[in-house]
Amino acid sequence: MSDDLPLSRRNLLRAGGLTVTGAALGLGSAQAQGQGLPGPSVPADTGAVQGGKVLFPNWRGAGDRVPPPPPAPMPPAQRVGFAVVGLGRLSLEEILPAFGETKRARLAAVMSGTPAKAKLVAEQYGVPADSVYGYDEWERLAQNPAVKAVYIVTPNGLHRDHVVAAAKAGKHVLCEKPMANSSAEAREMIEACAKANLKLMIAYRCQYEPFNREVTRLARSGEFGKPRLIQAFNGQTTGLPQQWRLHKTLSGGGALPDIGLYCLNGVRALTGEEPVSIEASLHSPPGDGKFAEVEETVSFTLRFPSGIIAQCMTSYGVHESRRLQLHTERADIDLRNAFAYRGQHLVVSRPDGAVESQDSRMLTPKNQFALEIDHMARCILEDRRPRTPGEEGLQDQVLMEAIYEAARSGRPVTVGPPTGRDGGLDVTRGPELDDAD
């Protein structure tokens, strides 16, 4: 290259690309890693293949965040095939589109009680016509080798029957929350999958979502001192009386199992502990026919072995708000839109000398449904126990029954760790998540 050739990006690429290494920049190995350099010799703009991934060096300066690596999806033929069971709002608005962002999973089949809807959805998502099923076709689904797992997205009151049917069909199960209508049903579901040597995971999407994971990390790290109090709120309005969530046989209850469960599971996941006592109260507007069978509002307080107190409220009668606040010795950690599908905003308030500092934690948002589906797929591919297995869902059913009992009796209810498990953290959960999740 002549000395007077313009040093342009085009000429660099034409010349074969610029290779950036720690040595070329005068950096040691540790310094190179700190700069986000992924390997010993990675071309700056063309990247390099390492470990089955395409990697690029961090081109940004010290004043910016290190960008995430490019996605590394598995080839479609190697991904875990899922059948989505139930094509209601959640499936059509969130779950089916999420398969477009998964890396280890693919949509292989659908099941619905409405044939015309199932046929249309299958066409929209490229599902073969012979992979469309009715709720009475579990035996035919069992013969489909492309389906390794099912995602149960039917009303709560149907979860038990559909999980048992899936286990009989030899398919791993990802089941929406709440797991069931009762702890007895949850135990049947766990037993059915265990007997068939199949994995059962409950879709607690917030435990896989980056902002919720960061709050948990901060709580357990002790970075801002010992956690003392937690406040969790999840509320929205409901207006259509015919909606299945307002009928107890299908829902198991009102605001508590539907949206209050996020508060309950959220504080359990945050602390890693199980509560030792529960106080609660219920309220429904007098004369409102929507709440003839289920409650509108629930307030409950959980006391944990470490001394942490969690105050939780949930309601079907207020403007939409979803918030998780952690109060520690030296900071207030506030996760806004905590339980929403998107839009999380994390603020840490703490003293900074003579002033109060507010630090907004900027994380890369990710599709929560894609994250949980991919985690289930990974567990199948690598024979891992899910982070949120059936036992996690069972414990929430047990605790919701205690909440209803505390509200009915007007007295605190003593609870403890799950039967047969000693104390400690995360006793109902599988291995901690890592960078691969």
Name residue 133's beta-bridge partners.
Answer: 111
For residue 151, indicate whether it is catalytic. no
Cα angle 337, 97, 433 (rounded to 5 degrees) comes to: 60
From 204, 262, 316, 404, active-site residue = 262
Q: How far apart are CA 396 and CA 392, in angstroms?
A: 7
Quote the tokens at residue 318: 């207020």
Other Cβ atoms less than 10 A from the Cβ of 35: the count is 18
Find, among 279, 345, 272, 276, the residue nearest to 312 by Cα: 279
Tokens 């033929």 sit on residue: 77
Per 3-state DSSP, the chain is made up of helix, strand and coil in percentages (nearest 5) of 35, 25, 40
CB 191 within 8 A of CB 181: no
Side chain identity at 101, as an amino acid letter?
E
SS3 14: helix
Q: For residue 330, with 0-12 CB atoms within 10 Å meaning exposed, 13-18 middle and 19 or more buried, which class applies?
A: exposed
SS3 212: helix
For residue 119, indicate whether it is catalytic. no
* CA-to-CA dists, residue 20 to 61, 162, 184, angstroms: 14, 54, 60
Quote the tokens at residue 386: 């899910």
Give 173's contacts (C-beta < 8 A, 6+ positions apart): 149, 150, 152, 163, 166, 167, 189, 193, 198, 199, 200, 201
Give 70's contacts (C-beta < 8 A, 6+ positions apart): 47, 53, 54, 55, 56
From 148, 171, 177, 290, active-site residue = 177
User: Which residues are identified as catalytic?
Assistant: 177, 262
